Structure 1
Amino acid sequence: MSSFQAPRPGILPAQSIETLIATGAITSDTEFDHDQVQPASLDLRLSDQAWRVRASFLPGKRKVEARIADVEMHAIEITPAGVVLEKGCVYIVRLQERLKLPKGLIARANPKSSTGRVDVFVRLLTDQGARFDDVAEGYDGPLYMEVAPQTFSILVRPGTRLNQLRLKAGDPPKLETRSVGVDLQGGDIVGFRGRRHAGVVDLDHIDGHDPRDFWEPLTLRRGELLLDPGEFYILASSDDVEIPVDQAAEMTPIDPSVGEFRVHYAGFFDPGFGTDEAHGAGSKGVLEVRTHDTPFLLEHGQIVARLVYEPLTERPSRLYGESGSHYQNQGLKLSKHFRVW
């Protein structure tokens, strides 16, 4: 197996991902979409093959489909007309993309921003994988995704994109870690709480849903918010977020020492997010928040997450939002599936 030569350790930019596609290190059941390669990541697409399972799992030393046989409830064909994945259920879906990573490359997956904002929990699986979302150096095989809708049932089709893949050369250094606080004084509406008995969210229907049917707005109240266990919230960061054009960032899981809740399911920020150069100055980070076992009182400015910055191997051929984006220049914003409140 050949080795991938990068100018320096780091996350691969769009042009390097395109080279991997051209050389067969990344292949697909169907032709790649023209917009599938992002500035520093590759969107992954659902195939037509899925399974409803009774439990999540890691394959360990086995292949994913061999492990599915132990927990399968029934197989599902995802048709072009769409299939509903019910909230509270767990599914495994084979993805259209397949990897044959050269030596020197590893990969890591994360939900797309729009996926996290509708409270769909997704994790990547690989054959003989020991960890969710991580792809080992030299991996040669198919990709699968665990899908677990939490608040809303979702409608998906072959080609629906729920997660994205970053590829890394070498061991990129952590350049900087920044704390992220929560904004509870930014306007009359400081957040949204998902409605428990809403309808189905069609994940391929942009601006196609009335937010009032799915979300309860949260109004300003003394600069604090009481999080109820089991509820899902959309909030915004208190400070602007800016990702330099030669770097990318990931929102790290919450540290239990600052609160027993989860923030930001979709952890990737692409190069150029929030920058003047990409016409995104003033962009906030949107936070998907769910508390665990006990009610938790958040205060304005309280630190709820951390951003970890890593270098790219080289400047990407395009920046986040240069040709349009749903989330560049965002403040407090629901996913792209909902019309403006």
Structure 2
Amino acid sequence: MMKKILTIIGARPQFIKASVVSKAILDTEGLTEVIVHTGQHFDANMSAVFFDQLGIPKPDYQLSISGGSHGVMTGRMLIEIEKVLLTEQPDCVLVYGDTNSTLSGALAASKLHIPVVHVEAGLRSFNMQMPEEVNRILTDRVSTILFCPTQTAIKNLQVEGYPFVASNGQPQRIELVGDVMQDSAELFATRAVKPQGVTLQDGFIVSTIHRAENTDDTDRLISILSALNDVAQHTSVVLPLHPRTRNIIVDLKLDIANLTLIEPVGYLEMLWLLQHCGLVVTDSGGVQKEAYFMGKACVTMRDQTEWVELIEVGANVLVGADKEKIKDAIARNLGRTVKDEQSLYGGGVAANNIAKLLVAAL
């Protein structure tokens, strides 16, 4: 009997993960998928381009929900996702990561006693002020199947007392499957595309800034951009800038004259930047790992990271938003390469592992 998986996606990292998991589901006998796009990332360069480039099936439902506070966005998504679930009656709801789309899908399903499958379960930054941390903890708690990318994630769950009984009355299953981001990086690495209008010599710095802890804190944002602007006097710094962050910078009248600003890029363009850069400087969880998969050192502008194993093996360094720490870390790590000698994230077979386990579990 065919089992129906309803997948909730809405943000850039989820599109990248779905590119390999949806393919694995399609290729697995006994599974069918309904895709719901919440609209959390609605800009063409943050959404549509990923579906086009990565061959993700066209969403069956496009909810077009974006903007507003966390509560407003999550509430609107919860209402609309519930309607879809009542119509589709899926065998499970699959969610990725830690966004508002993730939490909304998990809550809607759990209220209807539909099994929740959480891809990237067990991640913890141990900072409850981060909305992502709240989202991932709550999603884990109501999930029936917890697909963990690393042994660290499993240990995090065990320390918290998992497994519990899920919202549908079934005991939770915790499975180590590897990281689907590595699947995507390996699959699409040979298809990387240079961003249009970018003229650079190899060895530049690629940076991304989007976390609320940085963009919503004026002092932190000023410190970060000041550090990058200083560095850019002698090494090119390419900054694909989210429209919201760009507007904040304009409002603050910050001096970023030395930076090379470009529009948000698709996944294939980001892979090209990662392949040709000399260093990655970011506050993104996904980009930290993408840097590692491309063999590049990473400087992370956060106070904590959920990817602690990258810190432990020396591939990544945490600097917070301290200007001098950022500049010092960049100077020490520029041009340094890293190797995945320990196969930290499973070696690129996570999507197939997930599909096989879903067939067995549903």
**TM-score above 0.5, yes or no:** no
More helix by percentage: 2
Greater RCO between the two (CA within 8 Å, min separation 6)?
A: 1
More strand by percentage: 1
- When normalised by structure 1's length, the TM-score is 0.29
- When normalised by structure 2's length, the TM-score is 0.28
